Amino acid sequence: MTVQPIACHSAGHSTCQATAQRPARAHGAGRQVPRHLRRALVLSLSVFAALSGTTAQAGLTAFDDRSSFLAATLQTQTETFDGWIKDTGFHSSAVDVGGFTLSMTAGASDVYNFIDAPPAKSIATDINGSTHLMVFTDTGIDLTFSFDQPITAFGADFKGINDAFERTLFSAGGQFATVPGDPLNLQLTFFGVTSDTPFSSLTFHGVRNDIYGIDDVTFGTALRVPAVPEPGSMLMLSLGLAGVVAARRRAGRATQDHPHSA
Ligand SMILES: [Ca+2]
Ligand SMILES: [Ca+2]
């Protein structure tokens, strides 16, 4: 594998020299990286490091808006539940809605956990006035989607999930993802994932009691484009950026030690 020092290519030749000849730059009039940019670089490194550590195994990429999610998919279908015209519970026995089956851990509340046809049981979980899922997961009580065919993309609209703090945790194919919450419990939120490897079921794990609505469940195939650069180039990018940040920090400290040169 041929690996180039990415930082040099992306930031220009002078950066290469700065990295290699730090003392020459320490007292110079070289531009310092603004603090907010440094923070962004450090944050990027953290993310890169995290990604580099997980790309070896099956990974989920999470999305919090539908358009970005759809842009990362190849072929999907959407279940609106609107063909259901009367409330139908899936709390005690599984319900096949077409491309997937809904089921709950034994002992799930029979007051909730049903396909909610208009009128909605609660405005707090009503997605858009149409039929949707009305869910109540709790500690040890999970909701599971089992798909007829393995998929690599899943997304849906939610209302009221993870309000105030984490109550529900998502997993698919042995990988976990955080479902973004809505602190004020007023707005619709979107959550979706694409996966490196196909999965046939996914679960919303009850961490704490959580009542929420789900609608417009979109599922199918993700684009087979790596979501992140391969680990080798990612590592080089991280090392290159780390070098830049370290050099700039030293330059900054040197300037503080010698205020006259600032
Ligand atoms: Ca609907
Ligand atoms: Ca209803």
Average pLDDT, the chain: 77
Question: Which pLDDT score is estimated for 7?
Answer: 33
Q: Give yes or no for residue 33 having a pLDDT over 80.
A: no
What span, in angstroms and rounded, lies between the C-alpha atoms of 9 and 12? Answer: 6
The answer to whether the peptide bond before residue 231 is cis (omega within 30 degrees of 0) is no
Band of pLDDT at residue 252, cut at 50, 70 and 90: low
**Ligand nearest to C-alpha 85:** 2
Q: Give yes or no for residue 258 having a pLDDT over 70.
A: no
Of all residues in the chain, the percent with pLDDT exceeding 70 is: 63
Q: Give yes or no for residue 230 having a pLDDT over 60.
A: no
Question: Which pLDDT score is estimated for 58?
Answer: 57
Question: What's the predicted TM-score (pTM) here?
Answer: 0.65
Q: Give yes or no for residue 237 having a pLDDT over 60.
A: no
Q: Give yes or no for residue 52 having a pLDDT over 50.
A: no
Q: Give yes or no for residue 36 having a pLDDT over 90.
A: no
* DSSP three-state, residue 46: helix
State the distance between the two ends of the chain, measured CA to CA, in whole angstroms: 43
Residue 132 Cα to ligand 1 middle (Å): 5
Residue 121 Cα to ligand 2 middle (Å): 5
Question: Which pLDDT score is estimated for 111?
Answer: 93
Question: Which pLDDT score is estimated for 164?
Answer: 87
Range of weakest confidence among 30-39, 88-97, 141-150, 182-191:
30-39
Reported as a single tens digit per residue, the pLDDT across 117-164 is: 999 999 999 999 999 999 999 999 999 999 999 999 999 999 999 998
Token readout for 166 is 């984490």
Band of pLDDT at residue 245, cut at 50, 70 and 90: low
Residue 130 Cα to ligand 1 middle (Å): 4
- At residue 256, what are phi and psi to the nearest 5 degrees? -70, -35
Token readout for 119 is 């009128």
Residue 37 Cα to ligand 1 middle (Å): 43
Residue 217 Cα to ligand 1 middle (Å): 9
Question: Which pLDDT score is estimated for 224?
Answer: 81
Count helices and strands in the chain by DSSP H and E runs? 6, 12
Averaged pLDDT for residues 195-207: 97
